[in-house]
């Protein structure tokens, strides 16, 4: 924790710690519409607050506060409107037409028009470092309030992209925009002390309902520093981990938010082979009976209690609880059935208790990111549970510089979860150049076809049924009765210490990343 941070707290954040200690009437009134929130240091946007370079996207998907978006995601993950008043797709899915409001201004006083929308999207297409815009051929302003998106291919889930791309002003955009952003959203970025904090103030000319919170200060710090700040009464919301959840802090309560921030293990689904000098596949996990046995042989509830102190839910897919989730993925823990699957498939116990078949040992190395203590604990718990099945697991911490390549042949504890069906596609759809899925070797033409049809659909809600069929259609899919190339363990609750009297507005399910999602609706928060 930097010394400068302590100075900032002492000098700039006194309002929070002085509440109820005889403040002046004006100071007390200010304290009622200000809030101080901590976030992990990884939540600070390295490239600044520019949508083209990750602000609002990537792992920590959120509504970008400073800028307006065309659409939003509602609490049930359906699509709502922000700048857009209506939108439609052509029958072939290659043209999206969006009408926008005519009463919106940027904070420099200039009107926001369809030209700005087209500029923003074309700029993201050409320069985005996080989002994939390969499906966008060109955005065109038809008139001041109409923009057309001409696509290279049908992309039914485009409204989910429109919910995270903040609109920037063409007239005020340059290479320094991310450091000094101008937008039309609920807040204005007033100050950014890189590596320490960012301060937002309510936009007085916002076209929607005026924010209740007039000032939002975000402090970037690790969990131990956030805990210390809460214990000192210097912040109003402090992100925390399950390992701290038993602590009691005077004047604070623990808020638990449901997520689709899942942790899962890829199981290479093809036999081992050398491909251009890289080992792809695994002779043990390449047996579908093994993958099915592991899926029902892991007690997820026990794992959640042991590792997450109870703050999590069992995971069965990469999209639990979302509109495109197929509930057929859910399984019950059944140790005896798991043993039977292994024995029926010829995996017999050896003298040392570890199973074998045709000279192949029931063993694998389970990788985890060496910087992530939770994934390490999940790996160790998995190791202990699978040992009871006669499967030998060796855990190993690795860096991301080698993890992706090694995961082609060795299971890895991953973290996923997004407010878009594209997460399913990215994990399970095969790539043209290899004929296998990107993150772990697996391929199924029928599953690919369902996902392709889902993207080509002209109706977003109808496409949900195709995403569900990609998971399981009664004969083919990626769940227990299918090829089960991934084992999903748990969805990690996002935890926060919240100062008494602060009313956090209802949270929609959080995606992967314990960061900006909590403040998606900070404008609706209030003090008692």
Q: Are residues 335 and 287 in the same domain?
A: yes
Each residue's pLDDT tens digit, 343-382: 999 999 999 999 999 999 999 999 999 999 999 999 999 9
**Domain finish residue from 154, 181, 208:** 181
Sign of CA dihedral 429, 432, 437, 443: positive
Q: Are residues 221 and 246 in the same domain?
A: yes
Phi, psi dihedral angles at 412 (to 5 degrees): -140, 140
Distance CA 409, CA 403 (A): 10
Residue (of 74, 29, 46) closest to 521 by Cα position = 74
Residue 62 resides in a domain = no
Q: Are residues 322 and 444 in the same domain?
A: yes
DSSP string of 13-61, one letter each residue: -HHHHTTTSS--HHHHHHHTTEEEEEE-GGGS-TT-S-GGGTTT-TTS-
Distance CA 461, CA 79 (A): 10
* pTM of the entire predicted model: 0.91
Q: Are residues 474 and 385 in the same domain?
A: yes
Q: Are residues 461 and 391 in the same domain?
A: yes
On whether the CB atoms of residues 261 and 417 are closer than 8 A, the answer is yes
Cβ burial of 39 (10 Å; 0-12, 13-18, 19+) is buried
On whether the CB atoms of residues 108 and 129 are closer than 8 A, the answer is no
Residues spanned by the domain of 226:
1-49+185-259+493-528
CB count, 10 Å around CB of 232?
12
Q: Are residues 385 and 524 in the same domain?
A: no
Which CATH number do you get for residue 211? 3.40.190.10
Which CATH number do you get for residue 152? 3.90.76.10
Q: What angle, rounded to 10 degrees, do the helices at 373-387 and 300-308 form? A: 140
On whether the CB atoms of residues 479 and 327 are closer than 8 A, the answer is no
Structural domain count of the chain: 3
Distance CA 273, CA 210 (A): 60
Distance CA 369, CA 400 (A): 7
Q: Are residues 198 and 303 in the same domain?
A: no
The pLDDT score that the predictor gives to residue 11 is: 37
Q: Are residues 216 and 174 in the same domain?
A: no
Mean pLDDT (the chain) is 93
The pLDDT score that the predictor gives to residue 3 is: 35
Kindly list the averaged pLDDT for each block of 10 residues, start to end, along the chain of length 528. Answer: 39 39 49 93 92 74 87 93 97 96 98 98 91 94 98 95 96 96 97 97 97 98 97 98 96 98 98 95 98 98 98 98 97 98 97 96 98 96 98 98 97 96 96 95 97 94 96 98 98 98 96 92 96
Q: Are residues 482 and 512 in the same domain?
A: no
Which CATH number do you get for residue 372? 3.10.105.10
Residue 55 resides in a domain = no
Q: Are residues 195 and 301 in the same domain?
A: no
Each residue's pLDDT tens digit, 145-171: 999 999 999 999 999 999 999 999 999
């Amino acid at each position: 924790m930097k010394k400068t941070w302590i100075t900032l707290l002492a000098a700039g954040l006194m309002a929070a710690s002085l509440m109820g200690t005889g403040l002046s009437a004006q100071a007390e009134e200010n304290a009622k519409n200000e809030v101080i929130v901590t976030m992990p240091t990884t939540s600070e946007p390295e490239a600044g607050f520019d949508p083209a370079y990750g602000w609002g996207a990537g792992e920590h998907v959120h509504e970008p506060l400073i800028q307006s978006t065309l659409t939003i995601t509602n609490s049930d993950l359906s699509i709502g409107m922000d700048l857009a008043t209506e939108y439609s797709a052509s029958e072939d899915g290659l043209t999206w037409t969006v009408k926008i409001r005519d009463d919106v201004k940027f904070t420099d006083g200039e009107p926001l028009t369809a030209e700005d929308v087209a500029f923003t999207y074309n700029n993201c297409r050409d320069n985005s470092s996080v989002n994939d815009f390969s499906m966008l051929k060109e955005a065109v302003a038809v008139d001041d309030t109409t923009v057309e998106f001409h696509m290279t291919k049908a992309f039914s889930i485009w409204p989910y992209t429109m919910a995270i791309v903040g609109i920037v002003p063409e007239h005020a955009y340059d290479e320094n925009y991310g450091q000094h952003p101008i937008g039309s959203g609920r807040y204005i970025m007033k100050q950014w002390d890189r590596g320490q904090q960012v301060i937002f103030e309510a936009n007085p000319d916002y076209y929607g309902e005026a924010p209740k919170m007039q000032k939002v200060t975000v402090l970037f710090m690790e969990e131990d520093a956030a805990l210390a700040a809460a214990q000192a009464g210097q912040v109003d919301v402090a992100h925390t981990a399950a390992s701290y959840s038993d602590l009691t802090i005077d004047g604070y309560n623990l808020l638990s938010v449901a997520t689709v921030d899942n942790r899962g293990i890829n199981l290479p689904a093809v036999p081992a082979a050398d491909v251009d000098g890289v080992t792809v596949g695994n002779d043990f996990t390449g047996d579908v009976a093994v993958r099915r046995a592991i899926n029902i042989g892991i007690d997820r509830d026990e794992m959640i209690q042991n590792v997450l102190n109870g703050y999590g839910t069992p995971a069965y897919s990469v999209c639990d609880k979302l509109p495109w989730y197929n509930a057929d993925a859910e399984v019950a823990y059944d140790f005896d059935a798991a043993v039977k699957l292994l024995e029926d498939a010829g995996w017999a116990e050896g003298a040392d208790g570890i199973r074998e078949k045709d000279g192949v040992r029931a063993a694998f190395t389970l990788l985890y990111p060496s910087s992530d203590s939770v994934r390490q604990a999940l790996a160790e718990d998995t190791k202990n549970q699978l040992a009871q099945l006669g499967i030998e697991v060796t855990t190993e911490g690795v860096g991301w510089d080698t993890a992706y390549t090694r995961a082609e042949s060795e299971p890895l504890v991953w973290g996923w979860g997004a407010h878009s069906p594209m997460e399913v596609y990215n994990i399970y759809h095969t790539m043209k150049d290899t004929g296998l899925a990107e993150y772990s070797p697996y391929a199924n033409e029928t599953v690919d076809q369902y996902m392709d049809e889902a993207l080509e659909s002209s109706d977003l809600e109808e496409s949900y049924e195709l995403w569900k069929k990609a998971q399981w259609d009664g004969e083919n899919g990626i769940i227990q009765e299918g090829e089960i190339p991934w084992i999903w363990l748990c969805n990690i609750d996002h935890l926060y210490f919240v100062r008494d009297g602060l009313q956090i507005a209802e949270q929609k399910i959080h995606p992967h990343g314990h960061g900006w999602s909590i403040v998606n609706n900070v404008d609706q928060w209030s003090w008692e």
